[in-house]
Structure 1
Amino acid sequence: MRPSVLLRRVISGVHWYVRELTDESAYDRYVAHARKDHPEAEVPSRREFERMRTDRQEKDPRQGFRCC
């Protein structure tokens, strides 16, 4: 395997891992689910999704930890 191909694979793997670790990919999973299971429903923008997610977490302290 050429070094450039190997480097791209490593960078791609690290990028995927960081997105999963920080839950940045949650919106992508949500959109895929909504389009598959609810094709007639309007998919919210990323900003709307993050607002809904934050509101849900703040209503239920078990959903996420907030220090402030």
Structure 2
Amino acid sequence: MRRAARWARAVRWYLRELTGESEYDRYCLHRRRHHPHAPLPTRREYQLLRARHQEARAQSRCC
């Protein structure tokens, strides 16, 4: 049973990393540590902020 649970956690971690879902969690952790009184954006707001940031920095993309 432990092996199956460990395997399931590993698959879940991999899928979250692959899809970028864990980026929001890391962002929230950073904000809580460095800006504890600032409000956290929702996941949707974070995605919009991230998309705007990527569009503003065109040199970071290949196309």
TM range, smaller chain: 0.7 to 0.9
Larger radius of gyration: 1
Out of 7, 20, 31, the residue aligned to residue 28 of structure 2 is 31
In the superposition, the TM-score normalised over structure 1's length comes to 0.79
3-state SS of the aligned residue for 1:44?
coil
Q: Please provide the CA RMSD for this pair.
A: 1.6
TM-score (norm 2): 0.84
Q: Which 4+ stretches in 1 moved above 4 angstroms?
A: none
Match of 1:17 among 11, 14, 17: 14
Residue ranges of structure 1 left out of the alignment (5+ in a row): none
RCO (CA 8 Å, sep 6+): is it higher in 1 or 2?
2
Percent identical residues: 41
Aligned residues: 63
Q: Is the helix fraction higher in 1 or 2?
A: 2
Structure 2's unaligned 5+ residue stretches are none
SS in 2 for 1:55: helix
